[in-house]
Structure 1
């Protein structure tokens, strides 16, 4: 994979993760214990159209609020 494509994907992933953290801090502060990366970005088997698979570990039931679109 070309370095510029990999860099763009990594920047996109960084924006996505920061958005998830920001929303969680707003709607359910303290509810997210851990965000891990799974799938092709974890295994290193990425390609131009790879998506981002996240594993989110919650401290309590309020973390489900972060999944809402509102």
Structure 2
């Protein structure tokens, strides 16, 4: 499926067409899954953490003069 066809289906989807949703979903799910999987893999392998640990948050808040609340 080319970009022009996808644009047509996306226009129909934005108008609330259920068939268009199903077509766009089936056309893009594999690529979207691959993109998200790659992003998660990079996030896990990088030094950036998605969620700081409670202790890290508590210490950061202490440095800012705030108490950590659950």
TM-score above 0.5: no
Q: What TM-score does the superposition give when structure 1 sets the normalisation length?
A: 0.36
Q: Which has the higher Rg, Structure 1 or Structure 2?
A: 2
Q: Which has the higher strand share?
A: 1
Q: What TM-score does the superposition give when structure 2 sets the normalisation length?
A: 0.36
